[in-house]
Amino acid sequence: MSAETDPVKVMKQEVGKAAAERVQSGTIVGLGTGSTTAYAIQYIGDRIKKGDLKDIKGIPTSFQAEVLAKEHGIPLTSLDAVDHIDVAIDGADEVDPQKNLIKGGGAAHTREKVVDSLAAQFIVVVDSGKLVDRLGSTFKLPVEVIPMAYVPVMRALEKLGGKPELRMGVKKAGPVVTDQGNMVIDVTFDSIDNPGELEKTINNIPGVLENGLFVGVANVVLVGEVKDGKPLVREM
């Protein structure tokens, strides 16, 4: 099966396209990180090239998003140059029925949370495999930590009932390093009963920069799925 006819790839493209179609001219757009969001960035660029979108400015949430935006001709700006963000488009690793999220698979969750939280509308793009009844069911919770504090932070996370492990690089010797120059601890919890409380508790541990719980931030969740071999997009 070729990549063009792979229903999963086509489904991700359709979810990205559906999000990109919600972007309007004259707006500031938060550009998220990840494979599905990459298609949204591509389609925003396509709309700009066609003249369908004008006067767009993007704010990337990662180096990856910045590179993609430049590649697809999206003009970029920064948070210190604007006073608002109209819409942000980003992916998620888990989404619960209340639209709470776990993010951070790409180690960009700190910048993502800043941008996504500032947006007047935050659109999440995911495939149906990311939907869970309870956060932490399938994905570990990422915690960004300054390097000098990772050992005491891991002890503190253990006291909260978590099983922490330092995220190691792939095709790289040593740990993953974020765009901020920090480390990521991935934490397994048997159950996250109160995501809002856990988000605050973890962020109060000295040395923690941010964690991957996004509670009460998402406005719209666009879900892609493959049914009978055909890609479909629905709003949650």
Q: Which positions are annotated as active-site residues?
A: 112
3-state secondary structure of 130: helix
What's phi and psi for 68, nearest 5 deg? -65, -45
Calculate helix-pair angle for 7-20, 35-50, nearest 10 degrees.
50
Give the containing element (helix H, strand E) for 113: helix 109-118
Quick count: other Cβ atoms within 10 Å of Cβ 93?
22
Residues 164, 207: Cα–Cα separation, whole Å: 15
**SS3 state at 129:** helix
> Helix-strand-coil percent breakdown of the chain, rounded to 5?
35, 30, 40
Tokens of 67: 């590179």
In terms of Cβ atoms closer than 10 Å to its own Cβ (0-12, 13-18, 19+), residue 75 is: exposed
